[in-house]
Structure 1
Amino acid sequence: MAVFPLPQLEDNAVLLPSSQTNSTQPQLCDVWRDIQGAHNWNGLLDPMVPNLKAEALRYGNLAQLCYNAFDGKSYSKNYGTCYHSKRDLFNKMGMSESGYKVTKYVYANTNLLNKVFGEKPKDQGVWLGFIAVCTDPNEIRRLGRRDIVIAWRGTQTAEGWIEDLRDILIPTRLSYRCKRTGAAGATVNISSRDLVVSDIERLIQVYEKEMDNLSIIFTGHSLGAALATLSAYDIKQMLCTKHNFHQIPVTVFAFASPRVGNLAFAKRGEEIGVKVLRFVNKRDLVPKVPGVCMNDNVGCLSKLLQWLPWTYFHVGVELPLHNNSPFIQHTHNLAYFHNLELYLHLPDGYVGSKQPFSWSGRDQALDAYI
């Protein structure tokens, strides 16, 4: 946060970035497009520059918030909802200084169990995450732009785990009337997709005068990372085709993401300018699926058979994380290496692939999160 007070601004006012200081580390406001992947993070990952690390962890904390704020207790009368209102979410979750305001909650129905057991789906579905926009003048100046963020929750319900078992690819379609589906249960149904698209369209209209200093960021963990990738593709396609606002950067900070589409999906995402940075724990199995036998690791054969409905390719840029932290447990519990808090602990101490772990004080008692 900036130290000096700023004049009060309306939500749609523009704050220009401050000038770069003589510090060896440039200010975020001056390099934010590079941090958001304008050049595919070339030269920023190994070693990882401090600005990128700080931004990745900041968005990762928003993904963690989605888990912490979700009522996943099946016996609860409010099962499937968020514990807090949009107005209170950041305050109640200890992030009152984030500088963001929640504009929309995102919900989705899980239809598979309804078909099996004949249960009636909830009217609006279960809570999956939120859309928020940066409104604090100090934070806007620090970031160098107005930032819109969409954070997705990963799997936390029995219904969700069953949905995750589906792994047959189906075509993507850019239509308000169709279901948006990728793979491995990564489904943005009519309800949630319309919520995201309509609110992003509304926010773009509100901040239209800030088009040159506006960013759209998606983040999530596991299934949430897959949903973030699909949603980013959807929004960027919409920006390019409907509004011609292709200059607005759309970025995904994905933690423990499974594969979400085929080679054509990955190439199309690159063509339209979706930037995806995937954080991958090398001991986590989830980023290795689906497509156990046919995927981007089997080279030319997978390209020849890419038309099959189970041939998967990762998208974007991968940052492999090594379990070289002295606080890591020696365990065979595979769920441990998929945990989001571990995914935030590892990049926090990551300096480079050939450099030792540099602990900054974040969450050394990782067994508390398993």
Structure 2
Amino acid sequence: MGGIFSFPSVDIDSPSGDSLFCQSSSSKPSSTHVHGKGNGEQGSQSQHLCDVWRDLQGAHNWNGLLHPMDPILKSEVIRYGNLAKVCYDAFDGETTSKYYNTCKYSKRELLEKMGMSECGYRVTKYIYANTGVSGSLFGENSKGRAVWFGFIAVCDNAKEIKRLGRRDIVVAWRGTQTTQEWIQDLRDVLVPAKLSYQCQRTTKDHQALIPPVNDGVRIEKGFLNFYTSTIHEEEDCGGKRVTMSARVHVIAEIKRLLQVYKNEMDNLSISFTGHSLGAALAKLSAYDTKRILRANHFIDILVTVFSFASPRVGNLAFAKKVEETGLKVLRFVNKWDVVPEVPEFS
């Protein structure tokens, strides 16, 4: 886990580009919030996670929690970081493997195999993306096919829900692993987002997304391709071959889970996490999710990104839109890591 969890600095994303830095690993916990061990362990604390979860998810922009880092917040960040790490450890990156580009484990056994059987979450959906590069030149062949990029899980353990103070839906993305993905990472030109948000009913049983107006939001081309490019996969629908995208996987599953837990909206959170490329995809998909929620009048659901070593995702208009939506982003970077400083958008 090394570099992901050393916490040398943290910043809250803002349109101005200002950063709030926190040397937390050697600092004492703030007495105004909690009294604990200060090392990410729960220990004996004057406040419990269930009482302050909204603050920890950024409802008040982590005011007073970063200088030094609140120990409960630190333990939560580590928890989400571990979920992001699962996406690396469970990915089958062996080019000679029959299951190359997929997850090594089924949804039912993933967290158990990764040593997280007691985390209280149940994996409900795998996320697949199209890496979009013809593979013969690079010894790989996955253009147009489903490549495993992460998972969606929901906290469904009563004891853990009580500890957290709410039901949490988590979306975890992995970072770059294959040659094709490195090539997409280098496509650092900005392109219009072309994401649609509002739903309109087109038939009795079908809703379509209304195309957005041109709001000036531009996204790094490679990241947007990962998120929106269609893939072909076999679904359990009579053997029919269907066309989907990572975006469809994420939005459809969140919509389904919100319907399942529609009576818990006051105590429900949606958390996105990822490392490097995964952090960029976490922010992009969280922004997309928050916009869709707002367009469909789910304004009060707290959507938060815990990102690790994220590169820049979009232009200034994108940063401003992120802030306008109410999306909360806590971004952790290592001081000497160049990835968070690229691409160099003007």
Contact in 2 for aligned 1:225/1:257 (Cα 8 Å) = yes
Aligned partner (choices 259, 262, 273) of residue 326 of structure 2: 273
Residues 219 and 252 in structure 1, CA contact (< 8 A), matched pair in contact too? yes
Q: Which residue of 1 aligns with 2:124?
A: 103
Residue 76 of structure 1 and its aligned partner are, at CA, apart by 1.1
Letter in 1 for 2:227: V
Question: What is the alpha-carbon distance in structure 1 between the residues aligned to residue 292 and residue 136 of structure 2?
Answer: 32
Paired position in structure 1 for 2:292: 238
Q: CA deviation at 1:151?
A: 0.2
Matched, 1:134 2:188: no
1:39 and 1:89, CA in 2 relative to 1: closer, same or farther beyond 3 A? same
State yes or no: 1:193 paired with 2:232. no
Q: 1:183 aligns with which of 201, 220, 224?
A: 220
- Residue 65 of structure 2 aligns with an amino acid whose one-letter code is L
Q: How is 1:141-180 mapped onto 2 (pairs within 5 angstroms)?
A: 141-175=162-196
Amino acid of the residue matched to residue 284 of structure 2? L
SS in 2 for 1:105: strand
Q: Supply the distance in 2 between the matched residues of 1:244 and 1:128 (Cα, whole angstroms).
A: 29
Give me the CA root mean square deviation: 2.5
Query: Which residue of 1 is the match for residue 58 of structure 2?
Result: 37
SS of aligned partner of 1:205: helix
The answer (yes or no) to whether the contact 2:133–2:143 under 8 Å persists in 1 is: no
Aligned length in residues: 272
Shift of 1:174: 2.5
Q: Distance in 1 between matches of 2:136 and 2:297?
A: 40
Matched, 1:218 2:218: no
Listed as ranges, the gaps of 5+ residues in structure 1 are 1-20, 292-309, 312-370
* TM-fit CA distance, 1:182: 2.7
Deviation string for 1:213-259 (max 9, x for gaps)?
Answer: 00000000000000000000000000000x21110000000000000
Tell me if structure 1 keeps the 8 A contact 2:219–2:315.
no
For the 8 Å contact 1:215–1:249, the answer to whether it is kept is yes
Cα pair 1:181 1:188 within 8 Å, conserved: no
Greater RCO (Cα-Cα under 8 Å, separation 6 or more): 2
- Is the contact between residue 176 and residue 277 of structure 2 (CA under 8 Å) also seen in structure 1? yes
1:16-165 alignment runs, 5 A limit: 25-113=46-134, 121=142, 124-165=145-186
* 1:173 Cα offset (Å): 2.4
- Tell me which residue corresponds to 1:264: 317
Deviation for aligned residue 1:172? 1.3
Cα distance in 1, alignment partners of residues 218 and 89 from structure 2: 26
1:80-135: CA deviation from partner (whole Å, max 9, x where unpaired): 00000000001111100010000000001111335978986466411000000000
Identity %: 63
> What is the Cα deviation at residue 73 of structure 1?
1.0
CA shift at 1:276, angstroms? 0.4
Q: Please name the residue that 2:301 is paired with.
A: 248
Distance 1:157 1:60, change over 3 A: same
Sort the Cα spacing of 1:50 and 1:184 in 2 relative to 1 into closer, same or farther, 3 A. farther
Asked if 1 retains the 8 angstrom alpha-carbon contact of 2:134 and 2:141, the reply is no
Unaligned stretches of 5+ residues in structure 2: 1-33, 36-43, 197-208, 212-216, 231-244
**Cα distance in 2 between the residues matched to 1:78 and 1:120:** 13
Structure 2 distance, partners of 1:115, 1:130, is 28
Aligned to 1:206: 260
Q: Deviations over 1:303-356 (max 9, x none)?
A: xxxxxxx42xxxxxxxxxxxxxxxxxxxxxxxxxxxxxxxxxxxxxxxxxxxxx
Find the residue that maps to 1:245 and give its secondary structure: coil
TM-score by length of 1: 0.69
Corresponding residue of 1:289: 342
- Per-residue Cα deviation, 1:275-318 (whole angstroms, up to 9, x for no partner): 00000100111001110xxxxxxxxxxxxxxxxxx42xxxxxxx
Give 1:183's aligned amino acid. Answer: E
Corresponding letter in the other structure for 2:289: I
In the other structure, the counterpart of 1:307 is: none
Q: Quick one: distance in 1 between partners of 2:151 and 2:210?
A: 22
Q: Distance in 2 between matches of 1:25 and 1:198?
A: 40
Cα distance, 1:167 vs structure 2: 0.4
Q: 1:321-336 maps to which residues of 2 (within 5 A)?
A: none
Task: Give, in whole Å, the separation in 2 of the partners of 1:152 and 1:181.
Answer: 21
Higher percent of residues as strand: 2
Q: What amino acid does structure 2 have at the position aligned with 1:27? A: H
In structure 2, do the counterparts of structure 1 residues 207 and 48 end up closer, same or farther at CA, with 3 Å as the change threshold? same
Cα deviation 1:18-69 (Å, max 9, x = unaligned): xxx9975310001000000011111101111111000000000001110000
